[in-house]
Structure formats: C-alpha cells, structure tokens
A and B are shown apart, each in its own frame.
Chain A
Amino acid sequence: SYVLTQPPSVSVAPGKTARITCEGNNIGSKNVHWYQQKSGQAPVLVIHYDSDRPSGIPERFSGSKSGDAATLTLSRVEVGDEADYYCQVWDSTSDHYVFGTGTKVTVL
C-alpha cells in the first residue's frame, strides 16, 4: 500500500517560517492536499492540488512539490498555527485515499 512519510515534529519561533515535508514514491504524479488539525478539533483543509488555498485560508500557507516530496510552508508563523498537519493523496492503484503520518508543529 502507498505510504506518505512526514517528520513527526517541527518547531518554529513566532514570525519565522516552518516547512513540513511529505515524501512518497512518485508523489510528483499525484495531487497532494494538506490539512490542519488543532487540538480537539476536526481537520481543516488548508491546501489542495499541491498549492491552491481554499477561501479563508491565509496567504501565509503555501504548498509546493518537487521530486518525491511535497512541502507545506507556513510563513510568518503565529501561535495560532500550532497544530498537527497531514498531507493526503488519492492512490489510483487502489482507488483509496492515503494520509501522511502527520507532523506536530510547535510554536516556541
């Protein structure tokens, strides 16, 4: 089955930039989506189709993809950005949906 690997944790100071990677085999051929999940809450879509922001998501959130990795970048990080972040793809081989292992972002 398809696997997406993320770093378990990322720490960042307020106002700085955090980058969260998502690695998977041949991920360049897949559309990558990203979710933010704050403690005790349901996930929220923050990036779809690699780099598109849904309405209401701040421009500080951006996505990119290169080689076998996708990256979610949080610019000018705020305390309120502290959350778990998950990448997700659709695996066409199985017609199933796969989530990454998740990254906990801590704002120092």
Chain B
Amino acid sequence: EVHLVESGGGLVKPGGSLRLSCEGSGFTFRNAWMSWVRQAPGKGLEWVGRIKSKFDGGTADYAVPVKGRFTISRDDSKNMVYLQMNSLRTEDTAVYYCAKMSSSFFDYWGQGTLVTVSP
C-alpha cells in the first residue's frame, strides 16, 4: 500500500525559510516523479512544483508564484522528497501536499502539512 507522509510545517515569519519533507513507501520511490501541491485556507488546489526521477533527469520545475524561492530535491536512498521554501510570503500560507505522480496526474497524496506565514 502506498503511503506518503509529510512533515516540517509550522509557523514562520514573512521572509523566513522552512523545509518540508515527504517520506514515501509502498512503491519504487526512485522511479517516481513527485510533486508538491498546496491549498490555501478555503481555496482550491495549486500545483507548486515537480521533480522527475533520476532516470528521467532528476530535474525540478516550478509554478510561477514560487519559482526562484522554492526548491524541490530528493534522496532516493531514504525515499524522501523535500521542499525548501525561502523568502516566504503571507500568501504562501497553505496546506502543502506531497503527491506521487503517474504520467500526467497525481495518483497518491499525503495527508498534508500546514505552513503558516505570519508576522
């Protein structure tokens, strides 16, 4: 059974940094493309970024609102994917979900971790 567990959320001041982690199990992690998706309070889903498997190049791509501030990385030896968030803004406040990808969709999701950016 596939499991994704996020951690690392919390309260941070504007301009601060936070690193989220996601541990995957129940699938061949090194072969999976992984994404982060966020949801601001009371709002819809927003794709944040994706990292390809190392076999497919291991590169990451980002949504426009976070490009240059957020970085996705992976450690296949630990079945982990990370989201490093710098220069955080109040509008980054959201629940952040880690999601396993299958082709062009998200087939499994973690339970999410809340990030609150507030003075």
Contact = CB atoms under 8 A, between A and B. Distances in A.
Given A45-B106, A54-B107, A97 B112 contact: no
Interface stretch (B12-20, B24-32, B40-48): B40-48
A97 B64 contact: no
Contacts of B107: 45, 48, 54
Contacts of B50: 97
Main secondary structure on chain A at its contact with chain B? strand
Interface residues of B, number: 22
Main secondary structure on chain B at its contact with chain A? strand
A100 B46 CA distance: 9
A43 B112 CA distance: 10
A43 B61 contact: no
Contacts of B61: 95-96
Interface in A82-100: 84, 86, 88-90, 95-100
Interface of A: 1, 31, 33, 35, 37, 41-45, 48, 54, 84, 86, 88-90, 95-102
Given A42-B112, A45-B105, 13 more contacts: A1-B64, A35-B106, A41-B111, A42-B110, A43-B37, A44-B109, A45-B106, A48-B105, A86-B45, A88-B106, A97-B50, A101-B44, A102-B44
7 contacts: A31-B103, A35-B106, A43-B106, A43-B109, A84-B44, A97-B104, A102-B45
